[in-house]
A and B are shown apart, each in its own frame.
Chain A
């Protein structure tokens, strides 16, 4: 027992000085890249994620296209320098699966039927990883899609919750993710009140799950407010 590090102290302060329900500081830079149709640099604590959107463009090979809607092609990758130890630049099983998971989360919000027989390319590059990169990736990709002028049903906002030292905490960092008992990333569409991604790793009781879900939705709402503010500051400034 003594080997295990205490992650939350008696006052309810976590290893990085946050309270149980606090998020890491979020910084959103829209239009970060010059060549992409839409792009964003999303920073959440130590997480640094770059998202870029291209398209819609014609699909090659032709058999991959759909006659009634656009296809999304998502590429989620971690840079070799994103982790503490060098990560091999070759796509891993995890990255390929997360690309699919993120694509499924975004397909429910993009109005793909307006661009039949085309493809929309979404690139999510993790420059620096510190837990919760998949939800941060979806959050960033939604902003990049909106910035590219692609019609959407809503903006997705993501947040991870988890169980650390028997308590439900929001927005886990790297130590809490590794040492904690459970981790649950959630992507929420605040305007529609729907969940587009929910995964869980670890163990939680039913009561804890319900508590975690409501905390995740609250956190996603906070993230959404920051997203809207970022879009407002960019576009209202442009107009004037």
Chain B
């Protein structure tokens, strides 16, 4: 048993390049960073291979920088471009707090929004808003969601004069200092505290 553990630690140090064989599919399951090809499990990235003989799993931890892409579970900042009754289209402009050069298009459906069912999405989200969302899936179309209090609108402009709206006491209410217009948005808990600035 002890001997076995030493072997696993030794394997942890294995440097691999794409295509290198880690084992057969009978020996383990292909996990992150690997792929199956003609009965073999092979590495897909440059990285450190982990061959877990107890759990029967193969995985590769990349040591290169990863491609900029909204992966499932990541937190992103998106700018709303259009809103319909149940669906909003958004341009993802930042992933995990870092701005990206080329944006990705994501979809925000009313069923993925926290709180009570909203019949009309236009009431709580408007075009031009910056929204912090979670990536629900990025296999095919990128689906976004607003699940916890931390997620929601983080910056919104007045529909009448275009100035940035300020949060007033009550939940989800915003007021414009310039024209006194009061609007409703699905706010993130830190609305007005965070500053979003493009580089």
Contacts and interface: CB of A to CB of B under 8 A. Distances in A.
B42 A146 contact: no
Contacts of B103: 58
A231 interface: yes
A148 interface: yes
A148 B64 contact: yes
A153 B104 CA distance: 26
Interface string A70-90: 000000000000000000000
A146 B102 contact: no
B169 interface: no
A115 B140 contact: no
B138 to A, nearest CB: 8
Contacts of A38: 64
B32 to A, nearest CB: 10
Interface in B1-56: 15, 17-21, 33, 35, 37, 42, 44-46
Contacts, number: 87
A228 interface: yes
A152 B18 contact: yes
A39 to B, nearest CB: 12
Given A117-B141, A146-B17, A58 B105 contact: yes
Interface in A190-211: 190-192
Contact of A192 (B19, B65, B67): B19
Interface in B42-91: 42, 44-46, 62-69
Q: Which of A67, A147, A154 has the most CB of B within 10 A?
A: A154
Given A154-B18, A155-B17, A192-B19, A149 B35 contact: no
Contacts of A153: 18-19, 35, 37, 42, 44
B44 A55 contact: no
B170 to A, nearest CB: 38
Contacts of A58: 102-105
Nearest to A152: B18
A151 B44 CA distance: 5
Contacts of B46: 146-147, 149, 231, 235
A38 B46 CA distance: 13
Given A58-B105, A155-B18, A227-B17, 16 more contacts: A55-B67, A56-B67, A68-B140, A111-B35, A117-B140, A146-B18, A146-B45, A147-B64, A148-B67, A149-B64, A149-B66, A151-B45, A153-B42, A192-B37, A231-B46, A236-B15
20 contacts: A37-B68, A38-B64, A58-B105, A68-B140, A116-B139, A149-B46, A149-B67, A152-B18, A152-B19, A152-B44, A153-B19, A153-B42, A153-B44, A155-B17, A155-B18, A191-B19, A228-B17, A231-B46, A238-B63, A239-B63
Interface of A: 37-38, 55-58, 67-68, 109, 111, 115-118, 146-155, 189-192, 227-228, 231-232, 235-236, 238-239
Interface of B: 15, 17-21, 33, 35, 37, 42, 44-46, 62-69, 102-105, 139-141
